[in-house]
Structure 1
Amino acid sequence: MASAIDTARADPSETSEDRPLRRRLIRFGGSRLGGLILALNLLSLLILFGGALALNEWNRGLVQARQESLRVQAELLSNVLGQLGITRGEPTPALDQIAASQWLRDNFIPSGQRARLYDADGALLSDSFAVTDIIPGNPLPPANPAGTVVAPLGDAEADRETLAQANEALGAEIEAALLGLPQATVRRSETGDRVVSVSLPVRHVQQVLGVLTLEAGDVDQILGAQRRALLPFALVALAVNLLASLLLHLFVARPVMRLSAAADQVKLQRARAISLPDLEDRRDEIGDLARSLESMTETLSARMDAIERFAADVAHEIKNPLTSIRSALETLDLVKEPAQRERLTRVLQQDVRRLDRLITDISNASRLDAELSRERPRPVDLNTLLTDIVGVYDTTSKPGEAPVRLSLEAPGPARVLGQDGPLGQVFRNLIDNARSFSPEGADVRLTVRRDETDLERPLRVLVEDDGPGIPSENLETVFQRFYTSRPKGTAFGSNSGLGLSIVRQIVEAHGGRVSASNRTDAAGAVVGARFEVALPATGRRS
């Protein structure tokens, strides 16, 4: 179904050979994450390059700084020209063309600049390019061999249009300055180059004698030099971005791809757990992820093994009563005496009860993990919980059953972070187990105390009886599934052997531990059994 949908959505003009190529083009080393890292780094770098190459703000600042510099020079020169007597004519003064031109030539040293002086009618009196040895223009190209067809030097019509536009812009600037208005503009020169121009009126007192124009055509050259100076840094930044993309690909994208491949192997049952030692040794987030995945898969693998063992144990335990029932049913038709038939009937009833108890306990054990993960843990006061449980036993106790005594020795509330339902099942199973071993006239004792020497699990709950105790070789075996060792006289099939196994499972799920030991007297003789549950405490002591 999925393949049909993918085929239907594919571009009909795209062949099967083009699709893998397109996927490779959008990846970097086979990784979408690596391609995204590279694309984002290059995009940020291109934005930086674009902004640096445009340099709009810097360009405007350069033009303004150049205009200010030219304005200061032009004010100085115009003031000198207007006040040092380089004038003629009485009573109306005017600039002396020869004296003004000679003074301008002697005192103005061009450095990428051009100075022009106009009279009151706008006629050109002096041009620094004309009175200095600086010749504007570009060097001539080398001579061509004889017979070479030479292309036209340029469009004469375009050159004439450029010259006309330059003269028109310059004329407008001169006319405005002759009206006494200082001018600062950016325009094109006769050669088409961009120049920064400042035109100031030359005054004698209040009389405008002419206009001094200063031009600087080196703005584009300065900007180009700045861009060329920026190029090495841009190349270094590009190299650093490529290196960063490569390192991120090697140290982030590729490990994630390896973890994904290892997870696929676990999914396909080619491995039971993820194991990548070179990634697990890393002391960063990738190492944390690898260790977490390994721990998770190992836990899942252990859970799968436990489920398999549990299924095998269940099959074995159920098979025994079923075999007994089948044998009794086959024998029942052959037995004619009423006493023997009654005995076989009792065997059948016992096996049915045993099978019912097994199925009930197996169902409870199989639902236990789901119940522990479904509810949110909350603080549970063991003193209150055990008081309620003992009260129920006192109310429902039958004659001949061992009473339950509770002793609260822990100062203040004994709070545990967990679930009261499963914790109550723990103590009920331990109490039921102790009562089943207690002789007539004895009692079962519960004690809650605090062990200040154990910082991890300070709370202790002891369940003690006066029974025969536990064989020393079975102090750990009693917590295994389906283990039973009952005293004489106990009804057959009344215990499934899952009670203490469920106790350990619940206690360990709450971060605690449970252990079994024997009580002894002064002579060293066993006088009963003791189960100790150690749990971590939560909250403040009052």
Structure 2
Amino acid sequence: MITRNRVISRLTLKIFAVNGLALVMLAFGLFYLGQYENNLIKTEQKTLERQAHIYAGAIAETAQVRGPMIRRGERGARILKFDRLARFPARKMIRRLGQTTTSRIRLYDFDGQIMGDSDWLAGPVGVIETGPSSHRTRFLKMPVTASLDFIVDVLPSSLNLDYYPTQEKTSMTGFMYPDVQNALANMPSASAWWKNDMEGKKNMVLSAAVPVKSMKGVIGVVYLTRSGEGIINAMRQVQRDILMIFLISLGFTFLLSLYLSGAIARPLKKLSRSAERVQNNFGRGEKIPDLSKRNDEIGDLSLSLKSMTDALSLRLDSIESFAADVAHEIKNPLTSLRSAVETLSIIKSDDDRKRLMSVILHDVNRLDRLITDISKSSRLDAELSREDLEHVDLRPMLESMAQYYNAGLSLPVNMNIGVNGVESRLGQVFDNLLSNAQSFSDTIKISAEKQGRSWHITIKDNGGGIPENKLDAIFNRFYSERPTSERFGEHSGLGLAICKQIIEAHDGEIYADNIMDENQNKIGAQFTVIMRSV
């Protein structure tokens, strides 16, 4: 296993990416405010058009006259009776209306010639065009506001508007404005335009044209224009607000991601490095950090790794101990064999030779039995890990073994002794226990009792019992406490150790105890196997 030393871990980057995804979507919202902006423009256009309708009606009522008008054409001039607008009353009305609004009001006659403009002032020297004020209030912006405005200015606009027609000083006709042309054709019209101000800054202009009507038709056009700076400012304010929310959220997201990185990525990295040190040191001398106080999945992971490391250390210790015990147990018969073989060459008597050959054969059989049991014990864990546990009823097994070993049997009536396990392995346990009891006693009794949610299976004998200080040691490998009448070396001392290994692999317990009479004298031994009931 290789732990890569990165300045920022991939998990930290993923945390930043996931937390920042929603903010990125919010930021993209800055580019999709076109619909909102279009609605603002349409609302302003409708307002401006309604205002133009009102002004057109007022002018038609106050400035409309009927009289002769000279119409010049290719065939010469003609005098016609025609409804028209009186110039001076119309201009006077335009000036008065212009004082009530911020819009610029222009009036054109039915020929498209301008008759009045709210930006004109009449004086002794004639008409003076004042134009809109170019004065702008300047103030020092805060650095944050200036930064936001800079970002907003960089954002592309979704509006696709034409530039407002430029009026030449020598041209006073209204036909240069599309809205006026539509109004002269008796079609009210409203538009939005781009226009550069005196400082070269692009601004929006809203326009609306409405026909001034008489009973006989269109006699003029009221043309209103208004700066769309309010819409621009409103859109800029929305963009600034979204951008401010984005930046604040980004800051919180960054801090939250750092916290999550410290709470998740760093402990995992710490566990990973500890696991690597355990691997390099074969589980010796290295401790997995205890993060159980977190009370979360990482804490559970640390406990699992700690338990695994402890189990690995125990297994390595067990392997070392097993190897040492095997070497010791094999060395004894080998030493005996070596001594017998060396002695055999110098013995002259045939009877002594036969006795030595008997010793050699006994030691060879002992080695064979020992190696066979060692092989079974060493393969047991691996075999148990590959075998699936299934429901096993121990009643038929115990009844069959009681008959084979001629043992007494006491089982619950009409009740299955159900456990989860591997039937062949459990049979091996009870066979070893009964065989061991038979070697010490001629009376054996098997009993089973359910206590709570567990089955307690007990095998009793009436032998000499077990030394009190050896009740646990008898389950150690190669420990042998045999009857004095039995020939040495007939058993490897692995039987009870294998029994314990199998029962613990089934999440059960096995222990030994002595049977006492009323005077506290040992009258036998009993082995109890405890397994969970199913």
Change in 2 beyond 3 A, CA 1:186/1:522? same
Partner amino acid, structure 1, of 2:376: N
Shift of 1:419: 2.2
- What does the per-residue CA deviation read over 1:406-453, in whole Å, with 9 as the maximum and x for residues that have no partner? 4321763332233223222222221221222222xx3x322222112x
Change in 2 beyond 3 A, CA 1:524/1:197? same
* Paired position in structure 2 for 1:460: 456
- What does the per-residue CA deviation read over 1:332-372, in whole Å, with 9 as the maximum and x for residues that have no partner? 12222222222112211221221111111111111111112
- Supply the distance in 2 between the matched residues of 1:469 and 1:206 (Cα, whole angstroms): 134
- Supply the distance in 2 between the matched residues of 1:275 and 1:530 (Cα, whole angstroms): 40
Shift of 1:486: 0.8
- What does the per-residue CA deviation read over 1:147-173, in whole Å, with 9 as the maximum and x for residues that have no partner? xxxxxxxxxxxxxx9665789996223
* Paired position in structure 1 for 2:300: 288
* Alignment of structure 1 residues 413-492 onto 2, 5 Å: 413-439=416-442, 442=443, 444-452=444-452, 455=453, 458-492=454-488
Contact kept? 2:515, 2:523, Cα under 8 Å: yes
User: Equivalent residue of 1:50, what SS?
Assistant: helix
- Supply the distance in 1 between the matched residues of 2:344 and 2:175 (Cα, whole angstroms): 127
The partner residue of 1:238 within 250, 253, 258 is: 250
* Paired position in structure 2 for 1:120: 110
Shift of 1:487: 0.9
Q: Which shifted more, 412-421 or 269-278?
A: 269-278
Shift of 1:513: 0.9
- Supply the distance in 2 between the matched residues of 1:98 and 1:263 (Cα, whole angstroms): 98
The yes-or-no answer on 1:135 pairing with 2:152 is no
Change in 2 beyond 3 A, CA 1:42/1:345? same
- Supply the distance in 2 between the matched residues of 1:496 and 1:312 (Cα, whole angstroms): 15
Q: Whose radius of gyration is greater, 1 or 2?
A: 2
Contact kept? 2:27, 2:242, Cα under 8 Å: no
Shift of 1:478: 1.0
* Paired position in structure 1 for 2:39: 61
* Alignment of structure 1 residues 292-311 onto 2, 5 Å: 292-311=304-323
Task: Pick the structure with more strand per residue.
Answer: 2
- Supply the distance in 1 between the matched residues of 2:30 and 2:164 (Cα, whole angstroms): 33
The yes-or-no answer on 1:49 pairing with 2:27 is yes
Shift of 1:383: 2.5
The yes-or-no answer on 1:215 pairing with 2:226 is yes
Shift of 1:319: 1.0
Shift of 1:473: 1.7
- Supply the distance in 2 between the matched residues of 1:205 and 1:434 (Cα, whole angstroms): 130
The yes-or-no answer on 1:381 pairing with 2:384 is no
* Paired position in structure 1 for 2:376: 364
The partner residue of 2:64 within 87, 98, 104 is: 87
Contact kept? 1:177, 1:201, Cα under 8 Å: yes
Normalized against structure 2, the TM-score is what?
0.79
Change in 2 beyond 3 A, CA 1:364/1:50? same
User: Equivalent residue of 1:188, what SS?
Assistant: strand
- What does the per-residue CA deviation read over 1:173-216, in whole Å, with 9 as the maximum and x for residues that have no partner? 32223333333433223645233434444445683442443434
State the identity as a percent.
38
- Supply the distance in 2 between the matched residues of 1:173 and 1:357 (Cα, whole angstroms): 113
- Supply the distance in 2 between the matched residues of 1:256 and 1:111 (Cα, whole angstroms): 69
Contact kept? 2:283, 2:313, Cα under 8 Å: no
* Paired position in structure 1 for 2:410: 407
* Alignment of structure 1 residues 71-82 onto 2, 5 Å: 71-82=49-60
Partner amino acid, structure 1, of 2:507: G
Partner amino acid, structure 2, of 1:249: S
Change in 2 beyond 3 A, CA 1:270/1:355? closer
Contact kept? 2:49, 2:189, Cα under 8 Å: no
- Supply the distance in 2 between the matched residues of 1:33 and 1:479 (Cα, whole angstroms): 48
- Supply the distance in 2 between the matched residues of 1:169 and 1:495 (Cα, whole angstroms): 122
* Paired position in structure 1 for 2:204: 194
The yes-or-no answer on 1:355 pairing with 2:367 is yes
Contact kept? 1:273, 1:298, Cα under 8 Å: no
The root-mean-square deviation of aligned C-alpha atoms, in Å, is 3.4
- Supply the distance in 1 between the matched residues of 2:175 and 2:381 (Cα, whole angstroms): 90
Runs of 5+ in structure 1 lacking a partner? 1-22, 142-160
Partner amino acid, structure 2, of 1:197: S
Partner amino acid, structure 1, of 2:530: A
- Supply the distance in 1 between the matched residues of 2:97 and 2:184 (Cα, whole angstroms): 23
Change in 2 beyond 3 A, CA 1:115/1:375? farther
Shift of 1:276: 5.4
Shift of 1:33: 2.5
User: Equivalent residue of 2:457, what SS?
Assistant: strand
User: Equivalent residue of 1:335, what SS?
Assistant: coil
Contact kept? 2:105, 2:222, Cα under 8 Å: no
Partner amino acid, structure 2, of 1:37: I
The partner residue of 2:517 within 512, 516, 521 is: 521
Runs of 5+ in structure 2 lacking a partner? 68-80, 122-128, 139-161, 169-173
* Paired position in structure 2 for 1:16: none
- What does the per-residue CA deviation read over 1:73-104, in whole Å, with 9 as the maximum and x for residues that have no partner? 3444445445x444222685444454444445
Contact kept? 1:129, 1:136, Cα under 8 Å: no
Shift of 1:273: 6.2
- Supply the distance in 2 between the matched residues of 1:69 and 1:426 (Cα, whole angstroms): 97
Change in 2 beyond 3 A, CA 1:360/1:278? closer
Change in 2 beyond 3 A, CA 1:73/1:217? same
Change in 2 beyond 3 A, CA 1:173/1:518? same
Change in 2 beyond 3 A, CA 1:118/1:379? farther
User: Equivalent residue of 1:429, what SS?
Assistant: helix
Aligned length: 477
* Alignment of structure 1 residues 176-187 onto 2, 5 Å: 176-187=182-193
Partner amino acid, structure 1, of 2:451: D
User: Equivalent residue of 1:531, what SS?
Assistant: strand
- Supply the distance in 2 between the matched residues of 1:242 and 1:101 (Cα, whole angstroms): 64
- Supply the distance in 2 between the matched residues of 1:491 and 1:51 (Cα, whole angstroms): 92
Q: Which shifted more, 253-262 or 313-322?
A: 253-262
